[in-house]
């Protein structure tokens, strides 16, 4: 019927608008505990769950907030929060997709499949290093929040490397001070 057609044409924007209203009118006032109009690190951390009983990684929370906090105010306003929310739900879908056995954790093989899917070419030994570094719960695999952090850090390090690897052969030669600048870009 024509009614159905109208819904199909207008459905997506309508849903988006509904989501936006839900976010601003219902969800955000609940998250913004001190009613400052800004979602701080600790407010976002409390709102997030990584599907386990372990508190969401505060380093991941900080990384995400700083990506969307345009005025360096130490949090995100309600407009910026829409970006934060999309970012997290996108990661949630990626995580679910690569958590093949539905364990709620990404093991070494799942991590390998995920990162290979993103275009990384890394050795088996390096996947062990990654698991060891980001396995905050000491389970031999990584939870949702730590998986995001792993991907963010890897991306940052790769971006910095690429800036120096101008001929893209996978090798760089850097001086001591260039090395320090590289590291300062990340820490
Ligand atoms: Ca607040
Ligand atoms: Ca798994």
Per-residue model confidence as pLDDT tens digits over 156-165: 999 999 999 9
**Rounded to whole angstroms, how far apart are CA atoms 132 and 140?**
7
The confidence score (pLDDT) of residue 24 equals 78
Q: How far, in Å, is the centroid of ligand 2 from the Cα of 187? A: 29
Global pTM reads 0.84
Q: What percent of the chain has pLDDT over 70?
A: 90
Q: How far, in Å, is the centroid of ligand 2 from the Cα of 129? A: 18
Q: How far, in Å, is the centroid of ligand 1 from the Cα of 79? A: 13
| Mean pLDDT score of the chain | 88
Phi, psi for residue 150 in degrees, rounded to 5: -55, -45
Residues 50-72: tens digit of each pLDDT: 777 788 999 999 999 999 999 99
Q: How far, in Å, is the centroid of ligand 1 from the Cα of 36? A: 4
Q: How far, in Å, is the centroid of ligand 2 from the Cα of 126? A: 19
Q: How far, in Å, is the centroid of ligand 2 from the Cα of 119? A: 20
For residue 105, the tally of other CB atoms under 10 A from its CB is 23
Q: How far, in Å, is the centroid of ligand 2 from the Cα of 92? A: 13
Q: How far, in Å, is the centroid of ligand 2 from the Cα of 99? A: 4
């Amino acid at each position: 019927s024509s009614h159905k057609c109208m819904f199909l044409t207008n459905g997506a924007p309508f849903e988006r608008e509904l989501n936006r209203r839900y976010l601003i009118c219902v969800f955000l006032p609940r998250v913004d505990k001190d009613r400052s109009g800004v979602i701080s690190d600790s407010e976002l951390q409390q709102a997030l769950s990584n599907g386990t009983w372990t508190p969401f990684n505060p380093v991941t929370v900080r990384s995400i907030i700083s990506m969307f906090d345009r005025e360096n105010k130490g949090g995100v306003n309600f407009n910026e929060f829409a970006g934060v929310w999309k970012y997290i739900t996108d990661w949630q879908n990626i995580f679910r997709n690569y958590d093949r056995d539905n364990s709620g954790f990404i093991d070494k093989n799942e991590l390998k499949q995920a990162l290979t899917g993103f275009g990384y070419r890394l050795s088996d030994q390096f996947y062990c290093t990654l698991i060891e570094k980001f396995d905050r719960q000491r389970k031999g695999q990584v939870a949702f929040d730590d998986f995001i952090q792993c991907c963010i850090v890897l991306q940052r390090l790769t971006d910095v490397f690429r800036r120096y690897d101008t001929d893209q052969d996978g090798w760089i030669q850097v001086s001591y001070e260039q090395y320090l600048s590289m590291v300062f870009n990340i820490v």
